[in-house]
A and B are shown apart, each in its own frame.
Chain A
Amino acid sequence: NAGVMQNPRHLVRRRGQEARLRCSPMKGHSHVYWYRQLPEEGLKFMVYLQKENIIDESGMPKERFSAEFPKEGPSILRIQQVVRGDSAAYFCASSPAGAGRISGANVLTFGAGSRLTVL
């Protein structure tokens, strides 16, 4: 029973290039969340998706960032024209729909993260 799978684990890009981070949720989970963690800072919520739908993108920068969770395949976080400030660890997490939750709470299972370095 594989957990949340993220790849690549490490990604190096030059300024102006594009970064694509992939996330396969845990089996049976239909909700995907992306968080960003900067050094010495906490996890910052970016976006919440269900299959083919963006539910909440209030934490996503308005430009250059996009996310999708297609009907088939992993969720993708895409960063266009990367800048040095985008260097961070990006974590994906998944959770089941309401009926599968612990005491009704939205408990997240996290992947190991993708570490983006922008040169």
Chain B
Amino acid sequence: SQKIEQNSEALNIQEGKTATLTCNYTNYSPAYLQWYRQDPGRGPVFLLLIRENEKEKRKERLKVTFDTTLKQSLFHITASQPADSATYLCALDMYSGTASKLTFGTGTRLQVTL
């Protein structure tokens, strides 16, 4: 079965720096890879998605890359702010032909300090 690995250790960075989070997966590449943000006590919120035939996607300060050869996605937050502190989850869209469901990684906690 598909395994999704995200760095379980928290990532601590200084305000203004670029945060880079990694998502690795095994087996076959999904049709889509999505990134969500989760704050404590709340449900995940969708941020960005990238298709298997896309190399890079941007949205404001966010950038996602997708390398199907390495089976890896990188999630970048440029000019990070303390408000960016949260847990970031990657999710693979495993479409089976009749239904799709998202399989999530365990998430990486980002802490942005002043």
Contact = CB atoms under 8 A, between A and B. Distances in A.
Interface of A: 4, 33, 35, 41-45, 48, 55-56, 91, 93, 102-103, 105-113
Given A55-B99, A105-B34, A106-B100, A42 B43 contact: no
Contacts of A4: 43
B43 A112 contact: yes
Contacts, number: 61
19 contacts: A42-B105, A43-B104, A45-B104, A48-B99, A56-B101, A91-B43, A93-B43, A102-B49, A103-B32, A106-B93, A106-B95, A106-B102, A107-B34, A107-B46, A108-B46, A110-B43, A110-B44, A111-B43, A112-B41
Contacts of A91: 43-44
B68 interface: no
A110 B41 CA distance: 12
B52 to A, nearest CB: 11
Given A102-B49, A112-B42, A42 B32 contact: no
Contact of B106 (A33, A42, A108): A42
A30 B1 CA distance: 27
B107 A42 contact: yes
A103 B49 contact: yes
Contacts of B34: 105, 107
A91 B43 CA distance: 7
Instruction: List the 10 shortest-distance A-B pairs measured between CB atoms, nearest first.
Output: A110-B43, A42-B106, A43-B104, A105-B32, A106-B100, A55-B99, A42-B104, A110-B44, A107-B46, A105-B49
Contacts of B101: 33, 45, 48, 56, 106
Contact of A107 (B49, B51, B98, B106): B49
Contact of A113 (B42, B51, B89, B104): B42
A48 B105 CA distance: 18
A57 to B, nearest CB: 11
A103 to B, nearest CB: 7
